[in-house]
Structure 1
Amino acid sequence: MNLPNSMTLSRIAVVPLLIWLLSASSPLHGHAQEWVASLLFIAASVTDGLDGYLARRRGQITTMGMLLDPLADKLLVCSAYVVLVAFDPAVVKPWIAVIVIGREFLVSGLRSIAANEGFTIDASDIGKLKTVIQIVSVVACIFDRGYTEWTFGPGSNLMGGNGPGWFMLPVHWIAVAAIYWMTVVSIISAVDYFAAFWSKVDQTAKNARAAKVLSRRGVVGPGL
């Protein structure tokens, strides 16, 4: 098995571990739970772009990789939002998880139809932006459970103190803004993907009709 596929499989393996770390039965508690889960999710998210880059760079694009890569992405994202509904219910509402998962199912279905019809739909800038916001929102919501804000400097809460520090980062409001921004961008990217899909289908249908007309003319022409 090549390196890109191994990285993809490692991303799938992270899913049950992440769920365990963010569950009530987690062996970690307090801030240790939040930091370990966040770093694990960030590391897994980094492999999302890295495995594809390495596969293209090394010429190691395989059927297995093409199948597992989108599966790993969706498992990681969907499981993260499902578990966050219980881990941070004040910010992550069930309907948000439904929208995220519904969007992933929609895109997967459209990709399958597109592949069956013999064309592909490239990832748009909106889709790439959605991926970045998803990472930020998941990490922010994990930290929101234990931190309302981060203070930096001597005596700050990141240094184990309870002083005001030099400056403050509002973790809770970043989590709220990121989760709702992510929801909006997910809806927009789903509409954008569907529009791109429909445009391809429409163009394919027009080409098929044009080819059929030309074929008929070729058959009728010699008999005239």
Structure 2
Amino acid sequence: MTMTTTMTANKTSIYNVPNALTSARFALAIAVMVLIPMHAYLAAMILFLIAASTDWMDGYWARKYGQVTKLGRIFDPFVDKIIICGTFIALVEVTGSGVASWMATIIVARELLVTSLRGMIEGSGGDFSANQLGKWKMVVQCAAVVAILLGLVYPSLNWVASAGQVLLWAAILITLYSGYVYVVAAAKLMRTDS
């Protein structure tokens, strides 16, 4: 982040469109977690799609109109993690979802680990921005959630359920691998700084 952007972030009001969008996505994430245990899978899938697909909007708006805030820089990635982790946790208790508790634990643990490493490195002045693999990880996780929910909406469509399970395992594998890549990158940065 440049000095100009940092100064803008300090002067910009937190009551702006990007933070409102992030707050709306947070509300949608909570709604998804409420709807899944109620077996309202279609509604949950639609709200999840809206929440996940609008992820880029708040960041784009903040950068385009100079509305970057410290709150937004923390709140936006936090909401991303709530959307993914919360949905996977909610799916654990759903019979037929295929999501085991250890799978949800891996996803949550990876997010907590990377967030901790990012806070530690950026807190000491380093750069630990998200890489392309991290973005692909999010895409595969979202695709897995949508396919699983679609399979729960239409249980007679075996190919949808199969696609959901394939994407679920792909999400677990890419989550583990991206976590490993971030740990290696963090270790290199810490060795350089010491």
- TM-score bracket, normalised by the shorter chain, equals 0.7 to 0.9
Q: Find the counterpart in structure 2 of residue 180 from structure 1.
A: 169
Q: Give the superposition deviation at 1:146.
A: 3.2
Instruction: State the shift of 1:107 in Å.
Output: 0.7
Q: Which of 3, 9, 14 does residue 23 from structure 2 map onto?
A: 9
Q: 1:41 aligns with which of 48, 52, 60?
A: 48
Instruction: State yes or no: 1:83 paired with 2:90.
Output: yes
What CA distance in whole angstroms lies between the structure 2 residues aligned with 1:115 and 1:86? 36
2:140 to 133, 136, 159: 133
* TM-score, normalisation: structure 1: 0.76
- Kept in 1, the 8 Å contact 2:137–2:174? The answer is yes
CA contact (8 A) 1:144 1:172 kept: yes
Cα separation, partners in 2 of 1:49 and 1:82, compared to 1, 3 Å = same
Equivalent pairs, count: 180
Match of 1:193 in 2: 182
Preserved CA contact (<8 Å) 1:88 1:145: no
Q: Higher mean Cα deviation, 13-22 or 71-80?
A: 13-22
Kindly indicate whether the alpha-carbon contact (under 8 Å) linking 1:19 and 1:79 is maintained by their aligned counterparts in 2. yes
2:150 corresponds to 1:143: yes
Structure 1 spans left out of the alignment, 5+ residues: 151-168, 206-224
Match of 1:109 in 2: 116
TM superposition outliers: structure 1 runs of 4+ over 4 Å: none
% identity of equivalent residues: 31
TM-superposition CA deviations, 1:101-137 (whole Å, max 9, x none): 0001101110110122111212122111101001100
AA aligned opposite 2:34: W
Task: Give 1:88 deviation, angstroms.
Answer: 4.2
The match for 1:120 among 112, 116, 127 is 127
Q: Which has the larger radius of gyration?
A: 1
C-alpha distance after superposition, 1:24-46 (max 9, x if no partner): xx3xx6xxx32221110010012
Query: Greater relative contact order (Cα 8 A, min sep 6): structure 1 or 2?
Result: 2
Measure, in 2, the Cα distance between the counterparts of 1:203 and 1:60: 33
